[in-house]
Chains A and B, each alone.
Chain A
Amino acid sequence: MDVTGWLLRHTPPRPMVVTAPGGTSARVAVERAVLARGWRPALNPARTNLLVVAGHAPWLEPYLRRVWDSIPAPRVRVDVPEALDERLLDDALAALRDPVRQRTHHTEPVEDVFMADRAPDRDGLTLDELHVPLGPVLAYWPAGLIVHTRLQGDVVTAATVEVAGAGTATGDAFWSGADPVARRLDACGRLLALAGWTDQAVVAQRLRDAVLDGRPADGLARFTARVRRSRTLRWLLAGVGHVTDGPFAGDALTRLYGWLDGTGPPPDTRWALDHLPELLAGTELANARLVVASLDPDLEPSHHG
């Protein structure tokens, strides 16, 4: 009996979707297909066996190659430059389960050494400091954004923002043609997923897809009420990424509520990029991630990158 073949046939696909700037339409299509097929998305290269690249950006290729090298076999890469043809996923699944095509792989450890320094920490001790980049390949992370952090333990002591291969910050054209409610639900879903509330994140995604299709978004009111009612979420997000004044005054929670109610300002990428370094300095990594998701910068693809 061919054990490997049998195991491969029963391997559940775990897609990891990487989005290039401008790949939002592809990302949305892939996310929708993944949900419909009941596949569980993977958060990291070690867990994935299906690298799905939504959109296309040459500058992203070196990063993708590193990610690819760190994905253990069996593995398949799928490129979805623009619209998603469902057959792409069917073919990927077939390739994933084909023992012949999966046999030859042999991954080498990827060089992933972080620069280490020493610096005084917030309690006045001299401690190790790592230089860790966040993005561009990271789950629930804005496409095309790289934040270079200095980390002491899990405290971000300083952060600088790099917009990889992108020109201006006007955002993905996909959203300018769509209902703003869909854009807000997308941001809600990603923030909720990052906050570890996967169940409601999926509800947000379903509603987003319905709005994009022009279908009636049944349950939008119920979803809004459900999220607003959650005392745990309020307790967890209050005070995260607090901004004293300006259009985004408040914290991650008020920004989430603003998206839910449609009263808050839509995400402003320029503002977010300008203020991220100062908002991220001194936060813990978890909070830093929530801050970025609560501002949801949306980068436009570069026309020359």
Chain B
Amino acid sequence: MAVVFWVCAVGAVAAGIAVFRVDSMARATFALLASFVFAGVAVLLVELTYLGVLVILMMVMEMVVMVVFMVMYMMNPAGLMPMTMVHNQKGSLGIAAGVFAVLAAGVYLIDWPDGGPPRPDDPTMQLGEGLMGPKMLAMITLGLALFATIVVTVVLATHRGRYDRYGDALDRATPDDPVRGGLGR
């Protein structure tokens, strides 16, 4: 256990540092992914299985999508053109040091329970109910609102809407798409 923890802890920090030391967008992204996966395994160690696995699942997806966009915008074909992830060095150093200090102080200042009540069978479930139990309706509404926001943002941001595809009167039989899709439209 302790060994795994230390491997993950050192691995996460080392991979995190690597993000800013490597000179290719792909390497930076996948170093960041490695850092997240180490953190996910650390979450697994405290037996928050669901959260740990979810961190790994979501981060792999997100980083792969991110690398596509980053490579696209940062013009870094196959690492041929070196780049750096370091911007606004002083400011970011200050913020990082500040956040670290606050979190580290929290570790020592918070009065952690010890001995106390036994561990629940399913901590994730307990955590979820603790957070949302009495406010389930509000959470569901919030979830829907968030989802609607995402959809609306995409609709507003999209380069080609239905009027571009089907004409101003929406009367085109087949949409004007650069590539034909699978529904034969």
Contact between A238 and B179, CB atoms less than 8 A apart: no
Residues of B within 8 Å of A130, CB to CB, are 77
Give the contacts of B161-183 with A (CB-CB under 8 A). Answer: 178-180, 182
Report yes or no: A128 in contact with B184, Cβ–Cβ below 8 A. Answer: no
Which of chain B's residues 69-99 have a Cβ closer than 8 Å to chain A? 72, 75, 77
Residue ID in chain B nearest A121 by CB atoms? B72
A122 touching B182 in the complex, CB below 8 Å, given contacts A116-B77, A127-B72, A128-B75: no
B residues contacting the other copy or chain, number (CB 8 A): 10
A153 smallest CB distance to B (angstroms): 8
Q: How many A-B residue pairs have CB under 8 A?
A: 21
Query: In the complex where A123-B159, A124-B159, A282-B178 touch, is A238 in contact with B184 (Cβ < 8 A)?
Result: yes
B72 → chain A closest CB, angstroms? 6
Tell me the bound Cα distance from A283 to B177 in angstroms.
11
B159 nearest CB neighbor, chain A only: A123
* Residues of B with C-beta under 8 A to A123: 159-160
Contacts of A238 in B (CB 8 A): 180, 184
Shortest Cβ distance from residue A32 to the other chain B in the assembled complex, whole angstroms: 37
Instruction: Report if A239 contacts B (CB, 8 A).
Output: yes
Q: Which residues of A contact B72 (CB under 8 A)?
A: 127-128
A235-B184, A238-B184 in contact; A122/B75 too (CB < 8 A)?
Answer: no
**The 9 nearest A-B residue pairs measured at CB:** A239-B180, A123-B159, A122-B178, A128-B75, A284-B179, A128-B77, A116-B77, A127-B72, A282-B178
* A positions within 8 Å CB-CB of B: 116, 118, 122-124, 127-128, 130, 235, 238-239, 282-284, 287
